[in-house]
Amino acid sequence: MGNVAQAGSHSAAGQMTGYLYQCELALLELARRSWEDASCAVRMEVLDDIEFLDPDNHTPLELIQSKHREAAGPLSEVGKDLWRSVASWIDALKALASPSGTAMPLLRLVSTQVAPADTFLSMLRPGGQRDTRAALARMEKVAADKEGAEGTAKDRELFMALPPSQRQLLVDAITVDDGAPVMSDLNPSLAKELGITPSDHAQAALDDIKGWWYGMAVGLLERKNPQRKRPAVTAQELMCRRDEVLDRYTGRNLPITETLSNLTQAEIAGYEGQLVVAQMRWIGLPDPEIAMYLRDYHHARAQRSEWLRTFKITPERLGEYERELHDDWEHIFRRRTRRFHGDMDASERESLGQDVLDDTMDRVADRPARPGSVTAPWIGRGTVHSLADQADTADPDRTVGWHPEYQDLCKPREETQDQ
């Protein structure tokens, strides 16, 4: 038992819960704002734990310090949670070149503990009882008191080193949101702010959105690979993902705003020279059939762009859809090309490729862009052709071809592009 107790004393569970709480608090705060301002954006661990940005210039409008404590208890005037937050804000404001009063971001301390009455912390709660002048006077008195300053002495000194006018400006910007729900109680608040009503699928829907959000958080926290880093996540992106998830359970379909119509000869000629056309010529398709598939390709590409532009689908879900279509194609391609051998003549190879194309078109026509919904058949067909158009440049695991030797046929094109 002694060893167990010793091991427990080194547990990082509380610290880990604090990090997870920060992540989910950012999601909760973003969801709250989404109903009023879809353009608002959040980032983490740049100037503060959580930051909400001006959508026009990406400067912070709000800096949030997240403090999670499982144990019930008062939020202390002399504790590290408060004074380290103050020091963090002072450093952040210096990095922002000491903004003027009109540009000063809101500084919020969100704590699961409760501020006792008659403390400067309670004076900084939002609402009608807020009194920043009285709070400043009390803060200065606490900061100057040498007793009980262990662990926060440097933070208090940093505060007192500010000119009086700057101290007032700082305190005017501080809001204390105490009594916040602990980690284990966040789910009901998240579900409410995301608009997830009680149902048999409510927990599954919430888990799905949270899983997506943790993926976004990894991108926000990325520091080594610029290509993986996300500068921010907007409320619009969150609401798009929410709609995707909820529609999955209700079966609501994505809107079709494109009108499927035959392309003009000029539009068809505009695709001449692209790989999508070469792929069809390699298997001997006649021009009318090529024109038919180019129609699907053209309108599906426009429809996907419209969904992305209007936040009807997320790039992540569209990527999942393309991978599902690729999987459909790969099963057909591997099965059909089992009988391929080097002695086949050109017409046999073309015929084999046409079988791959025909079977793929039939399969993907019924593949929904969002699970549980129905998607127009030409969306799947056209999206597969968009993958075929990338066979010489994209990830090999995402490319599509019809001719049994399409990869070899693509190589001369790659060499031409390299030159």
Average pLDDT over residues 383-389: 96
Cβ count within 10 A of residue 174: 22
pLDDT at 415 over 70: no
Average pLDDT over residues 70-92: 91
For residue 253, what pLDDT is reported? 87
pLDDT at 4 over 50: no
Output the CA–CA distances (angstroms, integers) from residue 204 to 144, 185, 211, 246, 374, in the order listed.
52, 17, 10, 10, 21
Average pLDDT over residues 329-339: 94
For residue 198, what pLDDT is reported? 86
Digit-coded pLDDT (tens) for 351-367: 999 999 999 999 999 99
Of 119-123, 146-150, 242-246, 255-259, the least confident: 146-150
Task: Round the CA-based radius of gyration of the chain to a whole number and report it.
Answer: 29
> What gap in Å lies between CA 256 and CA 268, rounded to an integer?
22
Residue 227 is encoded by which pair of tokens?
A: 């290509």
Half-sphere exposure of 124 (CA within 13 A, CB side): 30
> What gap in Å lies between CA 86 and CA 67, rounded to an integer?
13
pLDDT grade for 156, boundaries at 50, 70 and 90? very high
> What gap in Å lies between CA 363 and CA 105, rounded to an integer?
54
- 3-state percent breakdown (helix, strand, coil) of the chain, nearest 5: 55, 5, 35
pLDDT at 101 over 60: no
pLDDT at 327 over 70: yes
Q: Average pLDDT of the chain?
A: 90
Digit-coded pLDDT (tens) for 199-223: 878 898 999 999 999 999 999 999 8
For residue 5, what pLDDT is reported? 40
Output the CA–CA distances (angstroms, integers) from residue 34 to 8, 71, 193, 234, 241, in the order listed.
41, 31, 9, 8, 12
> What gap in Å lies between CA 29 and CA 239, rounded to an integer?
13
Of 51-60, 310-319, 391-400, 409-418, the least confident: 409-418
Strand partners, 66: 110
Strand partners, 65: 109
- At residue 15's C-alpha, the angle toward residues 12 and 21, to 5°, is 135
Percent of the chain with pLDDT over 70: 94
Phi-psi region for residue 168, left (φ > 0), alpha (ψ -120 to 50) or beta?
A: alpha
Contact 89, 63 (CB under 8 A): yes
pLDDT grade for 414, boundaries at 50, 70 and 90? low
> What gap in Å lies between CA 190 and CA 32, rounded to an integer?
9
Average pLDDT over residues 390-417: 81
For residue 10, what pLDDT is reported? 54
- At residue 147's C-alpha, the angle toward residues 145 and 151, to 5°, is 100
Strand order in the sheet with 60-67: 174-177, 106-111, 60-67, 50-53, 41-44, 233-234
DSSP E strand stretches across 93-193: 106-111, 174-177
Strand partners, 64: 50, 108
Higher pLDDT, 2 or 169: 169
Of 89-93, 160-164, 245-249, the least confident: 245-249
> What gap in Å lies between CA 173 and CA 98, rounded to an integer?
13
pTM for this model (two decimals): 0.75
